[in-house]
């Protein structure tokens, strides 16, 4: 099963993707995680991407497509994958379609995670990430036991530069301009499934699973 998860920054794509990994046994492919890893490792791709990420802008298509192409060829993605954070533009979606067609793999579904702008701002401005293990917390909804310290490994928690209010607003503006057109793009292909994810997490997760129920049985 080959799935795309998309929605505004902070919609919870990564969280829902992790649940889908457990249920369906296919890997989550997060371009955000791959790009941050490249930055941390100091690779040439990482250096190129870093300046764009700091400003909350999209990393150039060629860079992201290169990463995705390499990743979906790995053995663990042979039976399918969950793309989280890619494609972000219609040209990227076109490139992905061509790539998958060439590999004799077609998308099964595209899930659009839907939440309000207010929820997004609360989630992202309150998010804190461990500098060591990458565990995620929220100062409003999921606090660590000790302020500023990771429960799992005891290292410092930080607010990522792209989670600061001014950057978030810029990211949302970029999303509306560049990524929102994917709704119409995939709807016309009959792949789009909208999932309302406001409210209690367990209920929202149930709606995500329900949206994929028929796809999983194919």
Catalytically active residues are 13, 88, 127, 160, 171
CA–CA separation, 3 vs 215, rounded Å? Answer: 10
Token pair in block for residue 151? 């429960």
Contact present, 106 and 95 (Cβ < 8 Å)? no
Nearest-angstrom CA–CA distance, 185 and 192? 9
- Distance CA(207)–CA(22), nearest Å, equals 16
Closest alpha carbon to 198 in 116, 127, 138, 141: 116
- Percent of the chain as helix, strand, coil, to the nearest 5: 50, 15, 30
């Amino acid at each position: 099963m080959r799935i795309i998860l998309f929605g505004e920054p902070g919609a919870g794509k990564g969280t829902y993707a992790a649940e889908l990994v457990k249920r369906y046994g296919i890997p989550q492919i997060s371009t955000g995680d791959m790009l941050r890893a490249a930055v941390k490792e100091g690779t040439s791709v990482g250096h190129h991407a870093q300046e764009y990420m700091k400003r909350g802008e999209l990393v150039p298509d060629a860079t992201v497509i290169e990463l995705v192409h390499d990743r979906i060829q790995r053995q663990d993605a042979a039976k399918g994958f969950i793309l989280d954070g890619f494609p972000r533009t219609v040209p990227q979606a076109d490139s992905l379609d061509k790539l998958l067609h060439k590999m004799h793999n077609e998308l099964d579904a595209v899930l659009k995670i839907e939440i309000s702008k207010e929820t997004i701002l609360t989630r992202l401005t309150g998010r804190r990430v461990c500098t060591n293990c990458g565990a995620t917390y929220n100062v409003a909804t999921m606090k660590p036991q000790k302020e500023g310290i990771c429960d799992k490994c005891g290292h410092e928690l930080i607010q990522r530069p792209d989670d600061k209010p001014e950057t978030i607003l810029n990211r949302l503006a970029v999303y509306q301009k560049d990524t929102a057109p994917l709704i119409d793009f995939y709807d016309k292909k009959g792949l789009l499934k909208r999932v309302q994810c406001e409210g209690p997490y367990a209920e929202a997760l149930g709606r995500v699973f329900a949206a994929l129920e028929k796809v999983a049985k194919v």
